Structure 1
């Protein structure tokens, strides 16, 4: 049974201020929950209509379908909702390619980018402080467990680049050099901007290499690709160069 106090607590975790206050976040769905159970994240409570999960009895709470609906953030609730404890993000890894996001606001985009980092072996994802919180329930859901393997760090991007002047900064801009003909190093920063406004003006001066994904179709549009799509294309090209060298 799920108590009223538990329902109130879980629903409050939709907001960042309460996630920070309680140091907790929510994971839903069998795949995501199993990924987090197998990770270094510590379980706080698990609510499920199934007894398949191997967790201690004091952390397991049987829940009916109606009770799961009350604590779920999904339109179609699954058979498990788990609450995990937040932990400090790891230090920025100072080697290999790192993805940097400047003001990405859409939870689905961030969750997808975390999955892409996991797929392409990117261990560090660095976000500006105004980027959506990676423990937002929609981000966690979209990341499909990849958040357990990708270190997400929030910091001031200007300070980040100032403290690492030896590393190239590849900024994705409409007026950049063709990505497919650019010389790319698999050691540096790949910088992508906000969905509507792109990379902020105060961060643009730190870009050492302006790159763009050229348009081949006939659609007349001044809008750029979706930021998650652009991340996938750019990472694929960076990694293609690595494999070509071997």
Structure 2
């Protein structure tokens, strides 16, 4: 569906389908969260579980998790998109091969291995986990930027140049807007990667919801494990949902 389509232009089953597609993810997350809350309310928690499953502790872990995930995604966008533009503009096969090889190393290596290696050679904490997440989530954005720019019709580019636009103007007014759906899809993938992989930040004292998951496993406190894992899954689903809305409504007019 085109971004120019509005709810006013929908009726009957089409409108219901559109609304369900928009609201499905938050509704499902809310229902599951309510079910977990009801289950916890009826469960007999010991002192360790009560100290962990309280509002202040959970909110603190969620904030740490979001800070790490969103900071990593912002850095990936700030680095990978310009890198993709540079490679596309240079038309250098060597540069493309080298950068893609480095990005592939970051994603091909197990995420926990990247985190632990960086902690060994550098230090533990938030900044190390952030670098590891950037390395892990870099490839989808870089690859989608290259793909999106490559898919821009050469005739459109040449027409713009023929009208007197500079190459910089063509890039920002023609190429990047036309490539934006593909680039946004890469950012969406990167965000979900970051939310999931951020759980291992706990191994290097960087906080996040991984603390709850590891504590639940280590201490065999399954309510803590279920809540921690459920929160990570819920955040990933909601982040993907929000990114999907941005991807749909930020699409340039005229693109389906």
Using CA pairs under 8 Å that are at least 6 residues apart, name the structure with larger relative contact order, 1 or 2: 2
TM-score range, shorter chain: under 0.3
User: When you count strand as a share of all residues, which structure comes out higher?
Assistant: 1
In the superposition, the TM-score normalised over structure 1's length comes to: 0.21
Considering only CA atoms, is the larger Rg found in Structure 1 or Structure 2?
2
